[in-house]
Structure 1
Amino acid sequence: MMTALKKWTIAVVCLLMLPALSEAGYKKEYKLSCVVGPKMPWGEGATLFADLVRERTEGRVNIKVYTAGSLMAGKQTNEFLLLKRGVADFAFASPINWSSTLKPLNLFNLPFFFEDYEALDKVTSGEAGKAIEALIAKKGVKVLGWGENGYREITNSKRAIRTPEDLKGLKVRVVGTPIFIDIMKSMGANPVNMNWGEAKIAFQQGVVDAQENPAVGIEIPLKIWQFHNHVSFWGYVIDPLMFTVNQKTWKKFSEKDREIIRQAAVDAGRMQKGVVRKGLVAPDLSAHELMRENGMEVTVLTPEEKKAFRVLTEPVYKKWVPRIGEELVEKAKADMGN
């Protein structure tokens, strides 16, 4: 017969083995998708998250960051499907690239909807943010935390843009998401959908006049002044980012490691947002000054000047709010106190 002491010893050994047994199913390496290069704040945020997870789990969860869209052959809009199918385990992703598949994510693409950074933070941490996270969870992907790419500001090689008349007729490179085509057309521009590699050649040849991207997040790291000498800060769309994980991958982690990973996403997101917002809000306008130092004419639109563009985009709201979901849009407005 087994003695009480022997039973107790076996029970203790089994308890001690539980973490090892749970970790036995872990992969040697987890893949994280990031569509931009490693030296941009977006890419740096992905690396920071991976480093924090590796350090805090003492190497149990080893995440390798695949930058520049290398897991999806550069096709940014395929990222969600690849994550859902498990080709990638994690992604530090922009809702823009997922919004063709998940229409409610176009909430973040509504023109002149988010007045400032505080408004965005209220939405991502509020009821609208929770609704978006629940929607994505139903599709097999979990949102761990939020980062940011920034407000998308327009640059061009022709003239300063302060009024709709200044924008009229300009050929503007945009991302391959339908709402951006509609926005630019509503404001009188000629939108052109192409990837960044093609866009650089088009800028050099004068085939395309303009583009829009976050200043600190994209334009400054890419030295946009090599192609354009005008930048207008109009804050027409803000681009948040999401730390995400495949649900099947997530469920295989121990409860302890899930909490570590979730907190790493929150911490990395907070630090990464601080980087992309630096130099863009008075009194620190060092990002504006850096662009001036590199030969760019910097134009900052007033609220009244923004309103002239906002009025022109009313048809975009009428078309897209039903697709996004009126309830979600109203939740976002309530989160912002509107």
Structure 2
Amino acid sequence: MKTTFIAILAATTMLAGVAHAEEITFAHGANPGNPRFVAAEKWADLFSECSGGEHSVTVAPSATMGDDVEMLTSATAGVINVSANSQGAMSQIVPEIGLLGLPFLFQDLPTAWEVLDGEVGEMLDERAQEAGLKVLGFWDNGIRHVSHVSKTVPTPADLKGMKIRTPPDQMTVDIFESLGAAPAPLAFSELPTALQSGVFDGQENPLVNIHSSKIHEITPYITLTGHKYESTPVVAGLSWWSGLDDATKQCALDATAQAGEEQRQAVREASDSLIATMEEEGVTFAEADKAAYQQATQSVYDKYANKYPDLVEALRTAAKGQ
């Protein structure tokens, strides 16, 4: 009888622990097959394990909790806890984060990661906290290229009048206005329908996003413009974050870093391998005249250098590894 009582007591204690485990929501907008989707699942496993089962993580992918702007609003309001979000949406809250997308700022992904993991990332976190968000780290959203429904765009002249979808990011809008296109922001989740209905002639994204969302099936002409870089800031609602003990906070930071390392490498590998894969699937690729594109977008640098002179200069210096 004693053994049975102890066993029942132990089982009851375990069930009580499970019942009181805090359930948190990690939301993002990526579809299955995207490195962000995989990394979010990894984050959930790492965080739950590190916190000793005190937190149960529900991952809400594919914009099921709203678009990126809505997810950021939900995080600040405590509706969700964590989001792997977008640079464009975050720039509406922390304008300086948009500077990471200055045209042709980073020559490769490792350079961008080094900058984000240093003082620049810390500064952006400080600004985000002022707006009710805690930056846990920066995952990757790749170097971006242009896809079109019917042609390649190797020179800026080829973009003239092109109706192109952009994220809700003023930097991207400015870049394509300087190139003579007609840009308009739209939530990523609405993009395939908008392309199919003819609202846009094309769009711009890293290859991994284009492929995982099957946008290349609608816009099978891709020009490797490499016009800008975008990060994937992983953010927590500050009200939730502030209520965590130090050990749990470290679990969240470690999970972000570890899952992020794999996510970054997956984006890098996909960037190297997807051209051949997509060519087999019917995509036509073209190289862009980078010198012409850089010259055409110089006015964008001038605009932001006037507004944020010190930060733009610091970013250019850091991007050059100086």
Structure 1 and Structure 2 fold alike (TM over 0.5) = yes
Partner of 2:127: 135
Structure 1 96/197 Cα, relative in aligned 2: closer, same or farther at 3 Å?
closer
Structure 1 residue 38: Cα displacement = 4.2
Partner Cα distance (2:202, 2:297) in 1: 19
Letter in 2 for 1:31: T
Larger mean CA deviation between 287-296 and 219-228 belongs to 219-228
Contact 1:128/1:335 (8 A) holds in 2? no
Contact 2:144/2:229 (8 A) holds in 1? yes
Letter in 1 for 2:281: N
Contact 1:112/1:236 (8 A) holds in 2? yes
Partner Cα distance (1:286, 1:95) in 2: 24
Q: How does 1:210-289 map to 2 (within 5 A)?
A: 210-216=202-208, 218-280=209-271, 285-289=272-276
User: Does residue 312 of structure 1 match 2:296?
Assistant: yes
Count how many residue pairs are aligned between Structure 1 and Structure 2. Answer: 306
SS of 2:65's partner is helix
Letter in 2 for 1:271: E
Partner Cα distance (1:229, 1:245) in 2: 37
Q: How big is each residue's C-alpha offset from its partner over 1:205-255, in whole Å with a ceiling of 9 and x where there is no partner?
A: 444211111111x11112223212211112111111122222332232232
Contact 2:94/2:124 (8 A) holds in 1? no
Partner Cα distance (2:213, 2:206) in 1: 11
Partner Cα distance (1:286, 1:37) in 2: 19
Letter in 1 for 2:64: S
Partner of 1:189: 181
Contact 1:127/1:331 (8 A) holds in 2? no
Structure 1 residue 262: Cα displacement = 1.2
Partner Cα distance (1:145, 1:192) in 2: 29
Larger mean CA deviation between 89-98 and 253-262 belongs to 253-262
Structure 1 residue 104: Cα displacement = 0.7
Residue segments in structure 2 that go unaligned for 5+ positions in a row? 1-16
- The alignment's TM-score, normalised by the length of structure 1, stands at 0.83
Structure 1 153/56 Cα, relative in aligned 2: closer, same or farther at 3 Å?
same
Structure 1 residue 272: Cα displacement = 0.6
Q: How big is each residue's C-alpha offset from its partner over 1:49-76, in whole Å with a ceiling of 9 and x where there is no partner?
A: 111111222211222122233333x3x2
Structure 1 residue 204: Cα displacement = 2.5
Equivalent pairs: percent with the same residue?
A: 27
Letter in 2 for 1:52: L
Structure 1 residue 162: Cα displacement = 1.2
Contact 1:144/1:244 (8 A) holds in 2? yes
Partner of 1:47: 41
Q: How big is each residue's C-alpha offset from its partner over 1:251-300, in whole Å with a ceiling of 9 and x where there is no partner?
A: 322322222221111000000111111143xxxx4211011001111123
SS of 2:29's partner is coil
Partner Cα distance (2:87, 2:231) in 1: 7
Letter in 2 for 1:307: A
Contact 2:31/2:213 (8 A) holds in 1? no
- The alignment's TM-score, normalised by the length of structure 2, stands at 0.87
Structure 1 residue 126: Cα displacement = 2.1
Q: How does 1:316-327 map to 2 (within 5 A)?
A: 316-323=300-307, 325-327=308-310
Structure 1 residue 27: Cα displacement = 5.9
Please tell me whether Structure 1 or Structure 2 has the larger radius of gyration of its CA atoms. Answer: 1
SS of 1:310's partner is helix
Letter in 1 for 2:204: E
Q: 1:34 aligns with which of 28, 33, 38?
A: 28
SS of 1:155's partner is strand
Letter in 2 for 1:183: I
Contact 2:31/2:212 (8 A) holds in 1? no
Larger mean CA deviation between 224-233 and 201-210 belongs to 201-210
Contact 1:131/1:328 (8 A) holds in 2? no
Partner Cα distance (2:259, 2:316) in 1: 27
Partner Cα distance (1:209, 1:261) in 2: 41
User: Does residue 295 of structure 1 match 2:286?
Assistant: no
Contact 1:321/1:329 (8 A) holds in 2? yes
State the Cα RMSD in Å.
2.4
Partner Cα distance (1:57, 1:186) in 2: 49
Partner Cα distance (2:170, 2:309) in 1: 19
Structure 1 residue 314: Cα displacement = 2.0
Structure 1 330/79 Cα, relative in aligned 2: closer, same or farther at 3 Å?
farther
Contact 2:93/2:128 (8 A) holds in 1? no
Partner of 2:313: 330
Partner of 1:9: none
Partner Cα distance (1:128, 1:112) in 2: 18
Partner Cα distance (2:189, 2:76) in 1: 27
